[in-house]
Structure 1
Amino acid sequence: MAGIVDVLKIEMSAMTASFRYPHVMIGRLPTFEMPPPATIYGHLCGVWGEWFNPGDLEFSYVFTHGGIGEDVELGHMIEFGSGRSEKTLGGLPKNMKGSLNPQRRQFLFRPRMTLYLKGDDKILQRLEQAFKSPAFAYILGRSQDLATVHSITWARLKQASGAFFANTLLPWTLRQWVSVGRPVYMPKWINYHKLREPVFERYLEIDDRPLRIFGEGVEEDVFSIEPFANLLVDESDTRTFLGRELPRGVWFHSWGR
């Protein structure tokens, strides 16, 4: 049916989550306030059970948290050893040595995420089953950030002229057209064939202050509605702004490299 897209919708939550800046290895470790696209891909691979080619798979999400905290995390620093035999090792050569490095690390308290997935039906059906019975422990961030899936459903998104966006990512190309949001530079993809080199992309992060598109010519938050033609919306999630009810907009991103 024209103007209608069926997508996989997963709702999840955790007690904590942390999405560390990739190049920060020592000192205080800050966190992104929303999961980077590379993290979403790794998240899907964790439930799938192996790396897979995302192909034409696209994602969108709504991500909220209850605040930012900070704790102490022990980093294990590994170095090359002397290579000489050690009595403490029963005469075996010491090839490496390690030490513990306490570091302050930020974390997000009580994160919640609604994840939308759009693309090939076979991949979506495989992911639906994977979320019901994940191959590895279900986490949202670090290996200790155990999470819970609350629902796995198929949602029908429709095209609309008006919508609101909140607690989500939009493409950076929209920056010149909107008055809300902040820039964020995130890893879009991790190249595992090149020493896990991250590929970065700039995005527009929309937080609790919503981006409202009324589609009536006179707009509050956008300078032109032209870039927002044929919006996809989730009509099961609505809010009222200035006396008008708007559905949640869903903007999809890909991992195209």
Structure 2
Amino acid sequence: MRIYRIEITSWTASFRYPNIISGYQPTLCVPPLSTVLGLINACAGKYLNFKNEEIGYYFDYQSKSEDLETIYQIESKDGVPKKEVKSNVLRREFLYGCRLFVYLKKTKLVDYFKQPFFQLLLGRSNDLATICSISERDLHEKKNASKIRGQIVPFIGHFLPGTIQALPQYFTNVLPRENIGTQPYSVINYDADDFDTSLTAYTDLIDNKEIDIYFHKLNFGNE
């Protein structure tokens, strides 16, 4: 099948665990689906509903480390911020030398990447990302895929190894934003070993290594 592949790189990336609010901030080893959809929205310059879309992606990085980060906390009363500002220092884990490959089947989403409307981020505001290439690839469908890595896959119904984490698929476009489609996912690192699955995927070559790309089926409503 003809698939479009967008390669995105960044020096650093950080993907927060949703339930960790304070203290030490670890990073997921793969971005959530909501982060990838947010990138597409940033390219489009508008909120998309992703009706009847299929999206796959693969993520890897060179190393993982920690840094100290200063945050500023502002208290509010009845929605009005106070003049008092408190600073705090916390440890944050981050990924270095990052690559994200986004796989799309429809040209209308690919076109947004050709001239992004907003800057792209892989996590926080300082994790600036760059689009390196957009290409068409002829990928073959593979049943019982065994090279699933650098991805997240819904845990229920597949029960794959990896870090199990509840993650939202998307967010609403109203304030306060609400999670859409939160469910448990298997978060599978890029260096995971091969394992048997019942998944149907599409096989790509990255650095001359076969990677089976799982496609998420999305249907959030009318645009």
TM-score range, shorter chain: 0.7 to 0.9
Give the equivalent residue in structure 1 for 2:141.
159
What are the equivalent positions in structure 2 for 1:201-220 lying under 5 Å apart?
201-207=183-189, 208-211=191-194
Alignment partners' CA distance in 2, 1:81 and 1:168? 41
CA pair 30-192 structure 1, distance change in 2 beyond 3 A: farther
Give the equivalent residue in structure 2 for 1:9.
5
Q: CA deviation at 1:104?
A: 1.7
* 1:197 corresponds to 2:178: yes
Alignment partners' CA distance in 2, 1:202 and 1:143? 26
Give the equivalent residue in structure 2 for 1:234.
204
Bigger mean CA deviation after superposition, 143-152 or 22-31: 22-31
Contact 1:237 1:248 in 2 (8 A): no
1:171 to 154, 164, 168: 154
| Unmatched tracts of structure 1, length 5 or more | 83-93, 212-220, 240-246
* Structure 1 residues 156-190: Cα deviation after superposition (integer angstroms, max 9, x where no partner): 22223464222222231211xx5x43423222222
* 1:23 corresponds to 2:19: yes
* 1:134 corresponds to 2:120: no
Amino acid in the other structure paired with 2:82: M
Report the structure, 1 or 2, having the larger helix content: 1
Q: CA deviation at 1:27?
A: 1.4
CA pair 56-96 structure 1, distance change in 2 beyond 3 A: same
2:82 to 96, 104, 107: 96
2:44 to 30, 44, 48: 48
Alignment partners' CA distance in 1, 2:38 and 2:201? 27
Provide the secondary structure at the position in 2 that maps to 1:77: strand
CA pair 107-231 structure 1, distance change in 2 beyond 3 A: closer
* 1:117 corresponds to 2:104: yes
1:58 to 47, 54, 60: 54
- Compute the RMSD of aligned alpha carbons: 2.6
Alignment partners' CA distance in 2, 1:203 and 1:137? 28
By relative contact order (CA 8 Å, sep 6+), the higher-ranking structure is 2
Q: CA deviation at 1:155?
A: 2.0
1:181 to 153, 162, 176: 162
Alignment partners' CA distance in 2, 1:237 and 1:162? 22
Contact 2:58 2:149 in 1 (8 A): yes
Q: CA deviation at 1:254?
A: 3.2
Alignment partners' CA distance in 2, 1:169 and 1:80? 37
Q: CA deviation at 1:19?
A: 0.8
Report the structure, 1 or 2, having the larger strand content: 2
Q: CA deviation at 1:53?
A: 1.3
Alignment partners' CA distance in 1, 2:67 and 2:122? 17
TM score, norm. by length of structure 1 = 0.72
